[in-house]
Amino acid sequence: MTIRGAPAIGIAAAFGLSLEAAAWKGHDLQAFRSHLVKVADEIQATRPTAVNMAWAMEHLKAIINEEFAGVDELRQRLIARVDEMAEEDVAINHRMAEFGASLVHDGDIIIHHCNTGSLATVDWGTALGAIRLAHEQGKKVHVLVDETRPRLQGSRLTAWELEQYGIPYDIITDNAAGYFLSTHKAQKVMFGADRIARNGDVANKVGSYMLALAAKDNNIPVYSVAPSSSIDLHIACGKQIPIEERDPQEVLGIEIDGKRVSPKSATALNPAFDITPFRLITAFVTEKGIVKPPFSKNLSITLKKPFKGVIL
C-alpha cells in the first residue's frame, strides 16, 4: 500500500521489472527470460483486484518472449519499453481527462470516490484528471469528496490534490453521499476503476456500488474513468473478479481525539473493493473515447480502436 491507485500500481510494477532486468548479472538469455517471467508472476500475485498490473506484466512477458540476440538486447528493449509505457501513460491520462472534462458542465457539483488523481496514476489521473481539466478549461466545479473509509484516500489525498489545483471542495462521509444525491445537491458521480469486466461490471474501491446505486436512484449520471487497460475482456462479469480482503486494522484503527473508538477485542471484516453492476454506470471514459451502453458490445469495440492521444 506504499503505492496505491490501479494505474500507478501498473506502472510501478513495470518499473519493478525494469529494475530487475537492469540488475541481472548473468549472460544466459533463457535463464534471464525465466527469471523475468518468474518475477513478473510474483509481482502480479501481490494485488488481485486491479487489472492494470496484470495487463502491464502480461504485456512485458510477451516482449520477454520475443526474439533477442542476447541478454543485453532483451534488457535494453525491456527498459526502453517501460520508459515508453510511462510516457504513454501521461498521454493516456491527458486524453481521458479531455473526454472526461467534456462531460462536466459549468456549475457542476461532483461526488468523487477514493483518490484518482496524480497520486494514484501517472501525472493527470483518471476521474480527478477530468475534473482538474474541466476546472482549467474555466468551468466552475465543486467537488464533494467522499472520505472513502477505511483508508480515507478521499480526505487524505483527494482533498490535498484539489487544494493544489485550487478547486473548491467539501469533504463528506461516505454515508452522506445518498443525502446529497437524493436532494439533487450533486449533478455527477465520478470514480475510477480497478477492473472492468466484458459486460461493464466494474470493480472499484469499496463503496462505489452503493454510491452508484444512490446516483441511479435519482437519475444522476455515474462515470467510471479508467484507461482501456482496465478493461478485461477475459472476465465475463463482475462475479469473476477476485475481491481483495485487507487488514482488519484498517477498520479498527480509527481514532478520535487520539483514542481508538472500537472495543479492544473487536474484530472486523475489510473487503477493499466491490462490484458496481453495469446497469448503474452511465458511461466509461477511456483514452479511446467515451463508452456508452450496451457495454458488452461497446467495450470490445473501444479496445480495438487506435489511441489518438499525443505523447507529449
Strand order in the sheet with 273-276: 231-232, 195-197, 202-205, 273-276
Number of residues binding to its own copies, judged by CB under 8 A: 55
- Residue number, 186 or 299, with CB nearest to its own copies: 186
Specify the residue for cell string 466484458: 198
Q: Which of 128, 275, 290, 299 touches its own copies (CB under 8 A)?
A: 275
Q: Which of residues 237-266 bind its own copies (CB under 8 A)?
A: 243, 251-258, 261-263, 265-266
Burial class (CB within 10 angstroms; exposed 0-12, middle 13-18, buried 19+) of 54: buried
Which residue in 146, 174, 194, 232 is the catalytic one? 194
The interface mask with its own copies, positions 152-171, x = CB under 8 A, is x--xx--xx--x-----xxx
Q: Which of residues 191-220 bind its own copies (CB under 8 A)?
A: 205-207, 209-211, 213-214, 217
**Contact status: 177 vs its own copies (CB under 8 A):** yes
Burial class (CB within 10 angstroms; exposed 0-12, middle 13-18, buried 19+) of 61: middle
Distance from C-alpha of 72 to C-alpha of 33, rounded to nearest angstrom:
12
Specify the residue for cell string 487488514: 247
What type of residue sits at position 201?
A: D
CB of 36 closer than 8 Å to CB of 20: yes
Q: Which of residues 45-104 bind its own copies (CB under 8 A)?
A: none
* 119 CA to centre of own chain: 11
CB of 7 to its own copies, least distance (A): 21
The footprint of its own copies (CB under 8 A) covers 144, 147-150, 152, 155-156, 159-160, 163, 169-180, 182, 205-207, 209-211, 213-214, 217, 243, 251-258, 261-263, 265-271, 273-275
